[in-house]
Amino acid sequence: MNKKQLAILLSKLKTFEKQDINLEQYPTECEIAAESLWFAYMQSDIKNKIIADLGCGNGIFGIGSLILGAKKVIFLDVDKKILDIAYKNLKFIEKKLNKKFNAIFINKHIKDFHNKVDVVIQNPPFGVKNTHADKLFLLIAMENSNKIYTFHKIESQSFIEQLAQENGFKSKKIMTLNFPLKRTLFFHTKKVYNVKVGFWKIERFKK
């Protein structure tokens, strides 16, 4: 499995049928998911690891992690409909690869997540509708893991660095991406709107 093959597999996953404005549900492009997952994989943070995909949406990060050899993935989302899509996507990939994966699907709010994992990989709400909606995702991730891979608007850099430091973590921006948000909601005026997004690795300071 290489990065290109991973992106091709992830491109076959189904995504949102109807998006919730308040939850800021935007699908992640397969190339972006593959690029970020491949980076984490090369850092030895996926293979044989227990991973949580928080706010999993259609499951693209968790499924990609399983394809790359994760021991187990916990998929969490407050939206039951999209969680069902993530489950169906995993079953599709299992059939395609003729392989059974170890996965748990949890339909809960992020504040109710209490499962210790090796790594969290997440693409939380950017806080457009609800200011700092991503803060809770970061705090919950830091409570449950020593390593976090996460996406945020590039303008959030100082906020992320400060929050990480206050909680005993160090943060490093891995890359800046043009995150394409397709016209899927009634108030969108452009067919595709590119948002500058950072991909961060946040890691607990070793004692």
Which of 43-52, 90-99, 180-189 is predicted least confidently?
A: 180-189
> pLDDT by residue (tens digit) across 146-174?
999 999 888 888 999 999 999 999 999 99
| 19: CB partners within 8 A, 6+ apart | 25, 26, 184, 185
- Ordered domains of the chain (ranges, CATH): 33-204 (3.40.50.150)
More confident residue, 127 or 7: 7
Give which of 9, 69, 75, 76 is closest to 45, Cα–Cα: 69
> pLDDT by residue (tens digit) across 192-204?
567 788 999 999 9
pTM of this structure: 0.89
> Whose structure tokens read 């929050």?
163
> pLDDT by residue (tens digit) across 71-113?
999 999 999 999 999 999 999 999 999 999 999 999 999 999 9
